[in-house]
């Protein structure tokens, strides 16, 4: 599991999830549990409405280069593209769980040979 968490830490280094605010990504690994809503709520200790989102939908704006992007924004898009690629390459049954309303906890989770791993962040949606 350490290898996968190291890969994800490297891929998220310096990345911030941008919504109405900016939040870092935190890498985690769970050694047991089924990949489902109940496990996510139990392991995180969170309560609230859970919404499943496709990974490509969740990261759509972050991985799309625009003509008006400056060099720094283009570099960030490339980092997000690499990050999403690392998630898809290293985790199976990848799911994005959004928990709560307005200030939303986000868990991007998949199976590994040793359990469950992923990253968490927050987004603000008003």
pLDDT of residue 77: 87
Contacts for 34-37: CB closer than 8 Å, 24+ residues apart: 35/93, 35/95, 35/109, 35/110, 35/111, 35/116, 37/97
Q: Which CATH superfamily is domain 2-124 in?
A: Nuclease A inhibitor-like (3.40.1460.10)
Q: State the Cα–Cα distance between residues 62 and 59, nearest whole angstrom.
A: 5
pLDDT of residue 70: 87
pLDDT of residue 1: 54
Mean pLDDT, each 10-residue run in order, the chain (126 residues): 88 92 95 87 93 96 86 89 97 96 95 93 93
Q: Is the pTM of this model over 0.85?
A: yes
Sketch the domain layout of the chain as residue ranges: 2-124
């Amino acid at each position: 599991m350490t290898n996968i968490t190291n890969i994800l830490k490297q891929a998220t280094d310096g990345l911030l999830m941008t919504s109405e605010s900016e939040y870092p990504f935190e890498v985690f690994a769970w050694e047991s549990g089924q990949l489902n809503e109940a496990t996510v709520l139990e392991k995180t200790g969170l309560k609230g409405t859970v919404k499943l989102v496709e990974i490509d939908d969740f990261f759509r704006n972050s991985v799309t280069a625009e003509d008006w992007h400056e060099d720094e924004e283009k570099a960030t898009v490339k980092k997000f593209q690499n990050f999403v690629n690392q998630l898809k390459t290293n985790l199976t049954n990848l799911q994005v769980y959004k928990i709560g309303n307005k200030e939303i906890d986000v868990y991007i989770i998949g199976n590994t040979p040793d359990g469950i791993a992923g990253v968490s962040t927050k987004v603000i949606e008003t």
